[in-house]
Amino acid sequence: MKNRTLIITTIVCLALIISVMPIFSACGEPSTEGKTLKVGITTPTTGKAAEKGAPMGHGNLDCFEYINSELGGVEGYEVEVVWRDNGYDASKVVTIVKNFMDEGCLMYTTSSSAMMTASMEVANRAGFAGMAAFSSPIIYRPPQHIYGQMPDYGDDFLAFAKYYMDNVWKGSGKPKFAIHALNNSTGKGAIDAALAYADSLGIEILWDGQAGKAFEHKADSTSEMESLTRIKAMNPDVLYISSTPAPTALIVKNAYELGMFPGITIASGHAGFTSVLIDIAGADIAEGVYGVFPTVNWGDDVSAMAKMTEYIQKNHPEDYEKKNMDYITCWAQSLIVAEILKTAVKNAGYDALAAGDADSWKALEEQGIQKLKDYAVGGLHGPVSYTAGDNRLSKSVRVFHVKDGDIVPLTDWIDAPVVKYEEFDWFGK
């Protein structure tokens, strides 16, 4: 009898707790108390992209800690960060973005293009602005409410190809580029850019059979000897890799073992070109690999470097030890979000933003994001401006190479042109 009563009481209590939690959440007004500005941030801090997502989340949150504690927030208003780990899970990120909207956030950010791709239509339908650190053309071509913090994977390819033609290529005729692409939007960005611009850049693409089909690999690939053997037989001048760090390192190592490299030029897009690449491939093997990256490196003489270094050393020394460049990317992302909020408060006023509803989202987008002009981001990456019809906020990348185990810049900022992919018949097919 006692047992039964206990069980029933426990079940009733549990049922009440579960049913009441959402009601509390639903009844909660978007917090305007204490005059805050809310933003949603979601990062894949756990899951299969955690190697990038964790330091990116650290960069985001540390930067807002700095903004609130040392700068007194934005225009005097504290920035309230609603942060959620999406675990690199596409179904989870959709409900997270709905949660951001319910919480009264003014905009949201993701670090990966995959998570933005999964959630963007929900945001576009609601007119809720989002910004992805790493992006591919599909998220803003044609432009709607989603913005790219930095140039996309296609821009990387174009910037590097231009650099190569201007500074490295000394031969006659067209240099032959082989593309080794990750089998998702990261790889697809480079492929689309190559399809669109190879002729005008004066380069020849070595496709894997038919045009538009690059040499592909998976994120958990353990050997690319077979694909590289086929590429080697085609005598490429350049092997361009658009992938994440681990497979990029694997391909560089395999190319080295096959005797292809050194000998040909190897370059990497920005998703794969970090210190992790050198850690995995080894400094000797990675020596001379080119890469494109849209931010500065640790230790560079830019205004935001000192404070960022102070916070990473205080909060996440493990990221600093690895000289993690993804941390820089998301510190910069938070600075841009703060600048957007500042611009919106100045242009539209706090009251227009306070509710965190559809009108506030519109005000933030029109009076904040679309009014951005030449914001320097503390020198951490290329200047940020909004140009009508182009939702990439920063259009510049720099070319680096690996020298003596370090990532060393070779150029100043190179602007990548806007490509209207949606005007090509093959785009999205």
**Nearer Cβ to another protein (83/207):** 83
Q: How far is the CB of 184 from another protein (least distance, A)?
A: 5
Tell me how far apart the alpha carbons of residues 234 and 236 are, in angstroms, rounded to a whole number: 6
Q: How far is the CB of 13 from another protein (least distance, A)?
A: 14
Q: How far is the CB of 165 from another protein (least distance, A)?
A: 27
For 179, list phi and psi in degrees, rounded to 5: -110, 125
Binding site for another protein (CB under 8 A): 1, 4, 7, 11, 18, 21-23, 25-26, 45-46, 54, 57-58, 61-62, 65, 82-87, 89-92, 94-96, 98-99, 101-103, 114, 117-118, 120-122, 124-125, 136-138, 183-185, 187-188, 315-316, 427-429
Q: How far is the CB of 395 from another protein (least distance, A)?
A: 21
Torsion sign over Cα 397, 261, 49, 68: negative
Q: How far is the CB of 193 from another protein (least distance, A)?
A: 13
**Nearer Cβ to another protein (84/253):** 84
Give me Rg for the CA atoms of the chain: 23
Of the candidates 348, 286, 362, 298, which has an alpha carbon nearest to the alpha carbon of residue 328?
Answer: 298
Of the candidates 118, 116, 131, 47, which has an alpha carbon nearest to the alpha carbon of residue 335?
Answer: 131
Q: Which two tokens stand for residue 371?
A: 């009014």
**Nearer Cβ to another protein (24/170):** 24
3-state DSSP assignment of residue 21: helix
Give me the amino acid identity at 254.
N
**Nearer Cβ to another protein (185/275):** 185
Tell me how far apart the alpha carbons of residues 38 and 391 are, in angstroms, rounded to a whole number: 22
Looking at the DSSP assignment, which residues form a beta bridge with residue 130? 108, 146
Q: How far is the CB of 337 from another protein (least distance, A)?
A: 16
Give me the amino acid identity at 327.
Y
**Nearer Cβ to another protein (25/303):** 25
Peptide bond into 22 cis (omega under 30): no
The DSSP code sequence of 198-258 is HHHHT-EEE-SSSTT--EEE-TT-S--HHHHHHHHHT--SEEEEES-HHHHHHHHHHHHHT
**Nearer Cβ to another protein (45/265):** 45
235 torsion bin: left (phi>0), alpha (psi -120 to 50), beta (else)? left
Q: How far is the CB of 146 from another protein (least distance, A)?
A: 11
**Nearer Cβ to another protein (115/384):** 115
Counting other chains too, the contacts that 9-17 makes at CB distance below 8 Å and 24 or more residues apart are none
Q: How far is the CB of 175 from another protein (least distance, A)?
A: 26
Give the torsion through C-alpha atoms of 213, 225, 264, 399, to 10 deg: 70
**Nearer Cβ to another protein (32/95):** 95
Q: How far is the CB of 208 from another protein (least distance, A)?
A: 12
Q: How far is the CB of 180 from another protein (least distance, A)?
A: 14
Q: How far is the CB of 128 from another protein (least distance, A)?
A: 11
- Lookup result for tokens 């330091």: 55
Is 151 within 8 Å of 213 (Cβ atoms)?
no
**Nearer Cβ to another protein (187/382):** 187
Percentages helix, strand, coil for the chain, rounded to the nearest 5?
Answer: 50, 15, 35
**Nearer Cβ to another protein (330/345):** 330
**Nearer Cβ to another protein (170/429):** 429
